[in-house]
Chains A and B, each alone.
Chain A
């Protein structure tokens, strides 16, 4: 599995970019970015069976947008390239802050994406994504945005088009 060879440097970097772009699309609720990671016939399975990735992307963004904020923190990437197809495993720690009758809650979820990617033309995109759940942490939110330290850090992450990424603020 997963080994670095000279001929695949550009492929590996392109695949890593696709994997990272998914988190950008999800956390910024940016549908165009999110859709750009999938081939048209891509399928996703987050536990409820295979579903078309493009339709899934459209339906997941309102759900994400209803949360206060999310951060999909990607770590370890193991990438096994075989010609124009690749298998990858990517670690993710996904932090969500959501409203509930009891006040805002944190859901922190550790898992992994098991992906198949394909290169068509000169572009790599995801063809199949399966999500594996490893652990979760669920508790009342301890997020703070005021006080002597946090209060001075004024630039907060937001969704498209309000995030500093888009506003240039």
Chain B
């Protein structure tokens, strides 16, 4: 980091960089983009999702398999608190995660899980990444899906997709 940076601006930058990682991880999950998820973690990072506890490297294929059983997800991030201490930082990010899950009886279930990501960030070689993520669950609700969009027959409308079919990829590539 440039030595002549106002310390208040430096703090702002560090907080922004950590928040960015939280948002990028949500994007990686919602797009089922394993590379994007992997890229926000340090190589030796760890993850604790309750039902998964282990390395971030092993978390990636685990979560991709979980996601494969769902039709679509959206992980909304709200309040983000970041406390920076040199090259380390702690974060608390509120989330509301929306999931459409095939119920096996024709319709989907709409399951909402809300909680907080307690993250540890580290700056190595000038770059912030996540070194540990701990998902804490606060509340949930699940109801039969009432989604009523006929995605196949609404030309012109852009619908969220998994992988590079989602319009956000072309968007960030300048299309």
Q: Which residues of A does B touch, CB under 8 Å?
A: 1-4, 6, 9, 12, 47-49, 73, 75-78, 80, 87, 89, 91, 93, 110-112, 114, 130-139
Contacts and interface: CB of A to CB of B under 8 A. Distances in A.
B88 interface: no
A112 B168 contact: yes
A139 B171 contact: no
Q: Select the residue from A47, A76, A87, A132 with max chain B CB neighbours within 10 A.
A: A76
A165 B90 CA distance: 34
A131 B171 CA distance: 12
B171 A114 contact: yes
Contacts of A77: 23
Contacts, number: 112
B156 interface: yes
B100 interface: yes
Given A133-B149, A133-B158, A134-B72, A91 B2 contact: no
Contact of A87 (B1, B77, B100, B172): B172
B110 A1 contact: no
A114 B173 CA distance: 12
Nearest to A138: B146
Contacts of A111: 160
Interface of B: 1-2, 5, 9, 12-13, 16-17, 20, 22-24, 26-27, 30, 72, 74-78, 96, 98, 100, 110, 143, 145-149, 154, 156-160, 166-168, 171-172, 174
Contacts of B27: 76, 78, 89
Nearest to B76: A75
Contact of B148 (A80, A93, A131, A136): A136
A110 B158 contact: no
B160 A133 contact: yes
Contacts of A47: 154, 156-158
B13 A4 contact: yes
Given A47-B154, A80-B172, A135-B100, 14 more contacts: A1-B172, A6-B9, A47-B156, A47-B158, A75-B76, A87-B172, A91-B76, A112-B160, A114-B167, A132-B158, A136-B147, A136-B149, A138-B147, A139-B146
A134 B74 contact: yes
A89 B159 CA distance: 14
24 contacts: A4-B13, A6-B2, A6-B5, A9-B9, A9-B12, A12-B16, A47-B158, A75-B77, A78-B24, A87-B174, A89-B168, A91-B26, A110-B76, A112-B168, A114-B171, A130-B158, A132-B159, A133-B157, A133-B160, A134-B160, A135-B147, A136-B147, A137-B145, A139-B146
Given A6-B13, A47-B157, A132-B158, A89 B147 contact: no
A72 to B, nearest CB: 12
A47 B159 CA distance: 9
A83 B77 CA distance: 27
Contacts of A89: 27, 168, 171-172
